[in-house]
């Protein structure tokens, strides 16, 4: 707690009303009431109580949003370590869904801390308080303690994890997942920043390590570990059997019990199911915020549950009764019992005094504190300065609290004339307040700039896959072998050849011909992506010569294309553009004023963009990031940098709705600075547009936002320096050609969530700079995506679920002719809700009013066409239903889904289709892809999957589509990359020596060591791509870290790769090693000097004999049985490379 916060908290605690309340509450009365405690002063009052009492405090509020705000304020007052949050599950009663892992990650650790009776403040809501959870004795039994040296069977640990809700996965990347392999157990428990890896020696725990889920590498070692359950149920086999005797369960006998919605059957598993209050210490303090409102919320919750229960019973479903799942207000009062209880109300109310009590009981009269809220200045510093002078002249003590240091420094500069009379500090409180009786005035960012951000702690969910990780192989997939052409992948097999064992990919060709590709040649095989939608490639016939002729034809076309691309690239590089100046004070201050938590990728992308802008050549950078990952903030910072250098900025967006949203966002973000931002779109009349265009020409507008209208000939900039293009793939061909011209003249920044294949390819080839924002913002949850047949019941249930939890809904129907009819049907189904309609053929002002009404929550459901597709930022909308989803493209579905899930609440996307059996193959694939890729950061994988579905087609223009179809996207890119390298005079992979190796060693990754075939293929591919010994050493360490001790076959695999790297470096073209002898044949003219051979004889203790043969090369004969041909050959190759580096290792470890 900073001294400023301490001073303010003391002022609240010193108030006469607060003092009397605490004395009454902590004295013999054990009950007290206080009115007037509001704004962030409420958190300070609670913090004072917790410190003074030295006991746990349970604070119950009405809404989840209020709880989140109080969590943030209390963390400022007490520190994160003393604040816990027990949120609602966000599941409507009896809905067959389970709480998201992010919410459970708050709830279960909070229960554990309550059970431990730590002196923390736990914030919860009325609904969360009244819901059933794991009883205290079961929670105690469900906790697992692991220590180094402890004995436990690996299988027993696996069973225990399953019973506690951990999910078996191939890789541990997300909370709640686990995997077992060999003597290792990986799992990701709650309450830890990283997942953990427990390594066994027999049944004894040898080590416990934390590892990074992105790299799977160790980051720290632990001596012990406390593992909490992942669900609020402990479902051991005996518990499940007993529950089945009590009634129906939502899963078949013997199946995994952790199905969606199993929590609503908790009373059958744990008949003594408890609430939060059963975990809360008997001597703890309960604080009820607006008790009458809390009781009302409990009644509403039970009414909703009763309706759902009646509906289920009418359908013959056997489910627990509502009163088995939720407490009403009176039962909550009974559960509070004789605990010390404080009732907080804004105003005195008899209802607040009676709430939670069965019969009126004499209550002490409420005490009072006077707290006033603060006016909002919206960045108007002249009004703020005048108001501050007035307050100071009255003798008040004034505190200005900022979210960050940069903001504080800026305020200090702007209020320099008052800085000796006011106190500035960094403390991100949500609201300011004043205590009139104490002469204390507190202002925060919320009042100064009319903005506020969510500030409760981040929770880790696991991010998106990297850009290259889209090509996992499934049996039956079409693949391309560089030498043999298009075949089908048939699996991976362990084969014995010449007395040694190795794994091979099995490829099928015409006439049932098979090609076995040894894992050391795995980089010759690629997944086939290409062709037209729905068309499968023709499988090649081995030995026909057709594949070689096809490659030769494509190579010729590729070389021509490479020349054209390099000309464009060179023209841009040679063109002298404007080099922007380094960041000034304003730039640093503006960036520091960002009120949300900046992700590392956002910072990296911003730095890359600004570095490009400071170069003389025009920038052409693509910033790719999932929806809601913060691309707009990167664009705003770039635009501000350009304006600070007296240049104008054009922001191109695909829709008028998005133009309006960007206008508001840019103006709000830059309101403190002299930046003029305007817009041209259908939302402006002809006169306004004409005036704006003239002001742009005169240099009076700094940032112009608009649709393709900006590209019209009548729009002339006085000094254009930066063009920002949002979602380039949404523009037409003519507009894209105009973008090409602009890229030669000015800096261009392109933003996209689903990169079109062409831009993705240009980035991969290095002809376009790319920045990737993969890190999700704190608390962002993956969107639950379901493909469902469209029925009135499903639609009604989905809409009501969202509205009942306080949210809004998008219903997308993309046919203007019938949209009103669809809206009328929805109104008939749900007359209690407010529906509105929006589409692109409406009058501009009418559409604007519809959108603004929805933004201001004057309607519950917006029935609209695709106009909502891009950029709308409406955090309260967390459910979207897309009618006839089978008629949409994958990128469109992805964009539409991104309209929800922009808050930290669980979001839902329903893809409605007429009937599953009538779907085309293409539609089925699209829908399966969008449903499958619901993780955070799925944009890149979806872009590549879209190519698989649609065909790679227009990646580099229509004239190239036939060539790409013939050989596949990856091989085409590889050939293009090599052609570009050749034209640039760089070394190509094809120019390198390919060493023929004949070494009798069993070299592969045994299935007992890396059990998952996909992981083995990935590791083989990585191994094949390695070119340096340092990278090989790193992979060896990674294998040891991730999978345990290297078996002999794995160690041999790495040794062979080491020999290949050394042989390539020594210009060896053939290498054969047998027991006791080796033959090394060098490229002509690269044989080792005689002194190198003499040094080798001295370096190796075995007796060696060398024989030089012009035809066969250098023969090494080991005459001493104690010596080894492998070691001698490796030493020779190292000497030829001029290296004496430590070898990888010949031993098992």
The reported pLDDT for the residue numbered 939 is 58
Give percent above pLDDT 90 in the chain.
49
pLDDT class of 1146 with cuts at 50, 70, 90: very low
Condensed to tens digits (0 to 9), the pLDDT of residues 1048-1062 reads: 999 999 999 999 999
Per-position DSSP letters for 159-191, written without gaps between them = HHHHHTT-EE-SS--STTEEEEETTEEEE--TT
What's residue 1134's pLDDT?
A: 85
Between 422 and 1099, the higher pLDDT residue: 422
Same fold, 3-135+260-368 and 784-935: yes
Which pLDDT belongs to residue 158?
95
Q: What share of the chain is helix, strand, coil (3-state, %, to 5)?
A: 45, 20, 40
**For residues 159-179, average pLDDT:** 92
Q: Domain 3-135+260-368: give its CATH code.
A: 3.40.50.11180
Record: fold of 578-764: Rossmann fold (3.40.50)
Which regions of 375-513 does DSSP assign to beta strands (E)? Answer: 397-402, 423-426, 433-435, 440-444, 478-481, 485-497, 500-508
| Statement: residue 623 has pLDDT above 80 | yes
pLDDT at 588: 85
Q: Please compute the mean of the pLDDT values over residues 59-67 and round it to a whole number.
A: 93
Q: What are phi and psi of 650, to 5 degrees?
A: -110, 130
pLDDT of residue 627: 72
* 907 phi/psi in degrees, rounded to 5: -115, 155
Q: Which residue has the higher pLDDT, 1000 or 831?
A: 831
Segment 378-402 shows an average pLDDT of 88
Question: Mean pLDDT throughout 561-587?
Answer: 82
Taking only the tens place, the pLDDT of each residue in 903-912 is 767 789 999 9
Q: For residue 295, what pLDDT is reported? A: 93
- H or E segment at 812? strand 808-812
Q: At what angle do helices 939-950 and 921-932 cross, to 10 degrees?
A: 170
CA separation, residue 773 to residues 853, 896, 897, 932 (Å): 32, 20, 18, 21
CATH number for the domain formed by residue range(s) 784-935: 3.40.50.300
Mean pLDDT confidence for 3-17? 93
Shortest CA distance to 603 belongs to which of 777, 765, 461, 467? 777
The predicted structure's pLDDT at residue 845? 77
Q: Is the separation of the CB atoms in 461 and 936 below 8 Å?
A: yes
The pairing of beta strand 500-508 with beta strand 514-518 = antiparallel
Structurally, what CATH architecture does the domain formed by 144-227 represent? 2-Layer Sandwich (3.30)
The residue written with tokens 């003499």 in the block is 1094
pLDDT in tens, 896-931: 888 888 776 778 999 999 887 778 777 787 787 777
Question: So where are the chain's domains?
Answer: 3-135+260-368, 144-227, 381-449, 472-528, 578-764, 784-935, 996-1136
DSSP 1009-1051: TS--HHHHHHHHHHHHH--SHHHHHHHHHHHHHHH-SPPHHHH
Amino acid 206: pLDDT: 96
pLDDT at 1080 over 80: yes
3-state secondary structure of 300: helix
Q: What is the mean pLDDT of residues 309-321?
A: 93
Per-residue model confidence (pLDDT) at position 1099:
64
Strand partners, 650: 704, 723
Mean pLDDT along residues 50-78: 94
Mean pLDDT to the nearest integer, 675-684: 87
Of 738-742, 890-894, 898-902, 1042-1046, the least confident: 738-742
Say how many CA atoms lie within 13 Å of 479 toward its Cβ.
Answer: 27
pLDDT at site 21: 96
CA pair distance 466, 463, nearest whole angstrom: 9
- 792-804 vs 816-829: helix crossing angle, rounded to 10: 70
pLDDT tens digits, 91-128: 889 988 899 888 899 999 999 999 888 889 999 999 99
Annotate 338-383 with DSSP letters as a single string: TSEEEEEESS--HHHHHTT-SS----PPPEE---B-----TT-HHH
d(CA 538, CA 486): 7
* C-alpha–C-alpha distance, residues 73 and 427, integer Å: 9
Mean pLDDT lowest for which of 380-394, 521-535, 780-794?
A: 521-535
Could you tell me the CA-to-CA distances from 26 to 52, 288, 339 in Å, in that order? Answer: 9, 16, 11
> Among candidates 39, 61, 37, which has minimal Cα distance to 49?
37
Least confident of 298-312, 756-770, 979-993: 756-770
Q: Which residues pair with 86 in a beta bridge?
A: 124
Q: Are 904 and 876 in contact (CB under 8 A)?
A: no
Neighbours of 499 (CB within 10 A): 7
User: Average pLDDT for residues 1018-1025, to the nearest whole number?
Assistant: 90
Q: In what order do the strands lie in the sheet with 1113-1118?
A: 996-999, 1068-1074, 1077-1082, 1113-1118, 1104-1109
Q: State the pLDDT at residue 339.
A: 94
Whether residue 628 has pLDDT greater than 90: no
In this prediction, residue 194 carries a pLDDT of 94
Question: How does the average pLDDT of the chain come out, rounded?
Answer: 85
- Going by pLDDT thresholds of 50, 70 and 90, the confidence category of residue 764 is low
Instruction: Please give the average per-residue pLDDT across 42-60, as a whole number.
Output: 96
Please give the pLDDT value at position 106. Answer: 93
Tally of CB atoms within 10 A around 1022: 14
Per-residue confidence (pLDDT) for residue 941, from 0 to 100: 57
- The tokens describing 461, both together, are 């969910």
List strand residue ranges (DSSP E) for 87-235, in order: 121-125, 144-147, 167-168, 177-181, 184-187, 196-201, 204-211, 218-222, 224-227
- 531: confidence class by pLDDT, cuts 50, 70, 90: low
CA distances to 172, 1124, 1142 from 1103, rounded to whole Å, are 50, 10, 22
Positive or negative, the CA dihedral 1043, 1046, 1048, 1050 is positive
With both helix axes pointing from N to C terminus, report the angle between 16-26 and 41-53 in degrees, rounded to the nearest 10.
40
d(CA 1021, CA 527): 12
Task: Please state which of the ranges 365-379, 407-421, 649-663 shows the lowest mean pLDDT.
Answer: 407-421
- The domain defined by 472-528 folds into Thrombin, subunit H (2.40.10)
Q: What is the pTM of this model?
A: 0.77
pLDDT at 1145 over 80: no
Q: What is the mean pLDDT of residues 288-305?
A: 93
> Could you give the CA distance from residue 1029 to residue 165 in angstroms, rounded to a whole number?
42
> What pLDDT shows up at residue 1142?
37
Laid out side by side, the sheet with 397-402 consists of 423-426, 397-402, 440-444, 433-435
Which positions ≥6 away from 1124 have C-beta within 8 Å?
A: 1102, 1118
pLDDT range class, residue 933, cuts 50, 70, 90: low
Give the tens place of pLDDT for each residue, 266-279: 999 998 769 999 99
> What digits encode the pLDDT tens for the residues 951-982?
444 445 555 667 777 888 778 878 888 888 88
Fold of 996-1136: 3.90.1150
The pLDDT value given to residue 955: 46
- Could you read off the pLDDT of 1119-1143 as tens digits, one per residue? 665 557 888 888 888 888 875 443 4
- Asked if the model's pLDDT at residue 631 lies above 80, the reply is yes
Q: What is the pLDDT of residue 1018?
A: 87
Per-residue pLDDT averaged across 14-24, rounded? 96
Q: Which of 231-245, 369-383, 845-859 has the highest mean pLDDT?
A: 231-245
Is the pLDDT at 499 greater than 70, yes or no? yes
pLDDT for residue 465: 36
CA-based nearest residue to 952, from 488, 472, 528? 528
């Amino acid at each position: 707690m900073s001294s400023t916060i301490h001073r303010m908290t003391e002022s609240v605690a010193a108030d006469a009303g607060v003092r009397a309340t605490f004395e009454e509450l902590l004295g013999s009365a054990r009950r007290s009431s206080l009115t007037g405690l509001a704004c962030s002063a409420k958190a300070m009052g609670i913090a004072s109580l917790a410190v003074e009492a030295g006991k746990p405090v349970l604070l119950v509020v009405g809404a989840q949003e209020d709880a989140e705000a109080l969590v943030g304020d209390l963390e400022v007052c007490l520190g994160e370590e003393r604040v816990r949050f027990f949120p609602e599950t966000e599941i409507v009663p009896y809905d067959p869904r389970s709480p998201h892992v992010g919410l459970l990650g708050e709830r279960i650790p909070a229960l554990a801390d309550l059970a431990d009776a730590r002196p923390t403040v736990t914030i919860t809501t009325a609904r969360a308080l009244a819901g059933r959870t794991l009883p205290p004795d079961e929670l105690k039994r469900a906790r697992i303690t692991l220590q180094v040296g402890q004995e436990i069977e690996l299988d027993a640990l696996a069973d225990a994890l399953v019973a506690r809700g951990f999910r078996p996965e191939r890789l541990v990347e997300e909370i709640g997942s686990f995997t077992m392999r060999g003597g290792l157990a990986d799992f990701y428990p709650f309450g830890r920043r990283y997942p953990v890896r427990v390594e066994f020696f027999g049944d004894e725990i040898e080590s416990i390590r934390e590892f990074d889920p992105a790299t799977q590498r160790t980051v720290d070692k632990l001596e012990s570990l406390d593992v909490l359950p992942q669900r609020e149920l402990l479902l051991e086999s005996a518990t499940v059997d007993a529950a089945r005797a009590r009634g129906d369960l939502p899963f078949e006998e013997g199946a995994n019990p952790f199905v969606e919605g199993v929590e609503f059957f908790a009373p059958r598993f744990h008949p003594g199911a408890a609430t939060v209050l059963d975990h809360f210490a008997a001597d703890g303090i309960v604080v009820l915020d607006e008790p009458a409102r809390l009781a009302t919320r409990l009644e509403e919750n039970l009414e909703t549950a009763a309706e759902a229960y009646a509906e289920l019973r009418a359908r013959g479903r056997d489910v627990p009764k509502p009163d088995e799942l939720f407490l009403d207000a009176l039962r909550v009062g009974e559960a509070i019992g004789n605990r010390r209880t404080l009732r907080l109300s804004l105003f005195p109310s008899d209802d607040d005094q009676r709430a939670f009590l069965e019969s009126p009981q004499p209550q002490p009269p409420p005490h009072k504190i006077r707290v006033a809220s603060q006016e909002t200045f919206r960045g108007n510093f002249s009004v703020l300065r005048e108001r501050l002078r007035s307050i100071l002249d009255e003798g008040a003590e004034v505190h200005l609290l900022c979210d960050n240091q940069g903001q504080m420094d800026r305020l200090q500069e702007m209020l320099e004339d008052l800085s000796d009379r006011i106190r500035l500090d960094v403390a991100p409180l949500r609201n300011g307040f004043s205590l009139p009786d104490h002469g204390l005035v507190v202002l925060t960012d919320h009042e100064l700039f009319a903005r506020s951000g969510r500030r409760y702690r981040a929770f880790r969910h696991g991010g998106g896959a990297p850009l290259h990780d889209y090509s996992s192989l499934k049996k039956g997939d079409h693949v391309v072998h560089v030498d043999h052409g298009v075949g089908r992948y048939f699996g991976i097999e362990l084969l014995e050849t010449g007395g040694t064992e190795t794994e091979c990919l099995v490829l099928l060709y015409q006439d049932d011909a098979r090609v076995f590709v040894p894992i050391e040649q795995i980089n010759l095989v690629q997944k086939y992506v290409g062709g037209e939608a729905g068309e499968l490639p023709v499988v090649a016939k081995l030995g026909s010569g057709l594949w070689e002729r096809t490659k030769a034809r494509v190579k010729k076309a590729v070389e021509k294309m490479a020349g054209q691309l390099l000309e464009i690239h060179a023209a841009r590089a040679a063109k002298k553009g404007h080099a922007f100046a380094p960041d000034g004070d304003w730039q640093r201050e503006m960036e520091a004023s960002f009120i949300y938590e900046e992700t590392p990728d956002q910072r990296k992308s911003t730095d890359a963009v600004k570095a490009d802008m400071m170069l003389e050549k025009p920038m052409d950078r693509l910033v790719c990031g999932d929806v809601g990952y913060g691309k707009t903030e990167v664009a705003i910072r770039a635009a501000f940098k350009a304006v600070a250098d007296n240049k104008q900025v054009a922001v191109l967006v695909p829709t008028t709705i998005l133009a309006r949203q960007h206008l508001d966002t840019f103006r709000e973000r830059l309101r403190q600075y002299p930046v003029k931002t305007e817009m041209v779109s259908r939302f402006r009349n002809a006169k306004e547009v004409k005036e704006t265009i003239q002001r742009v020409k005169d240099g009076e507008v700094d940032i112009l936002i608009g649709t393709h209208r900006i590209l019209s000939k009548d729009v002339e900039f006085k000094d254009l320096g930066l063009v920002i293009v949002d979602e380039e793939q949404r523009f037409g061909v003519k507009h894209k050609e105009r973008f090409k011209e602009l890229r030669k003249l000015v800096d261009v920044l392109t933003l996209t969530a689903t990169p079109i294949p062409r831009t993705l390819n240009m980035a991969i080839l290095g002809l376009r700079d790319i920045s990737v924002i993969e890190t999700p913002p704190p608390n962002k949850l993956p969107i639950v995506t379901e493909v469902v047949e469209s029925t009135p019941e499903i639609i009604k249930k989905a809409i009501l679920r969202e509205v009942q939890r306080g949210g809004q809904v998008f219903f997308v129907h993309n046919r203007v002719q019938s949209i009103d009819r669809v809206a009328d049907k929805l109104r008939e189904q749900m007359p209690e809700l407010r529906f509105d309609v929006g589409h692109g053929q409406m009058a501009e002002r009418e559409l604007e009013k519809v959108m603004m009404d929805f933004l201001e929550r004057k309607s519950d459901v917006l029935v609209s066409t695709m106009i909502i597709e891009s950029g709308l930022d409406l955090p309260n909308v967390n459910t979207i239903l897309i009618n006839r989803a089978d008629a949409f493209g994958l990128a469109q579905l992805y964009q539409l889904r991104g309209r929800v899930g922009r808050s930290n609440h669980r979001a839902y996307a329903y893809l409605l289709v007429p009937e599953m059996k009538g779907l085309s193959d293409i539609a089925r694939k699209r829908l399966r892809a969008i449903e499958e890729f619901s993780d955070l950061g799925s944009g890149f994988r979806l872009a590549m999957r879209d190519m698989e579905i649609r065909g790679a087609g227009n990646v580099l223009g229509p004239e190239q589509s036939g060539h790409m179809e013939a050989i596949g996207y990856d091989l085409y890119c590889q050939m293009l990359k090599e052609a570009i390298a050749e034209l640039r005079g760089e070394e190509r992979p094809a120019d390198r020596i390919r060493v023929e190796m004949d070494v009798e060693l069993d070299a592969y990754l045994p299935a007992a060591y890396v059990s998952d075939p996909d992981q083995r293929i990935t590791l083989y591919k990585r191994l094949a791509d390695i070119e340096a010994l340092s990278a090989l050493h790193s992979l060896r360490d990674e294998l040891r870290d991730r999978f345990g001790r290297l078996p002999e076959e794995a160690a041999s695999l790495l040794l062979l790769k080491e020999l290949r790297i050394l042989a390539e470096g020594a210009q060896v073209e053939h290498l054969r090693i047998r027991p006791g002898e080796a033959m090394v044949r060098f490229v002509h003219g690269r044989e080792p000097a005689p002194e190198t051979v003499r040094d080798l004889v001295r370096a190796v203790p075995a007796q060696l004999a060398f024989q030089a043969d012009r035809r066969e090369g250098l023969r090494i004969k080991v005459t001493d049985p104690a010596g080894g041909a492998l070691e001698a050959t490796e030493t020779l190759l190292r000497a030829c490379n001029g290296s004496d580096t430590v070898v990888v290792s010949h031993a098992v470890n």
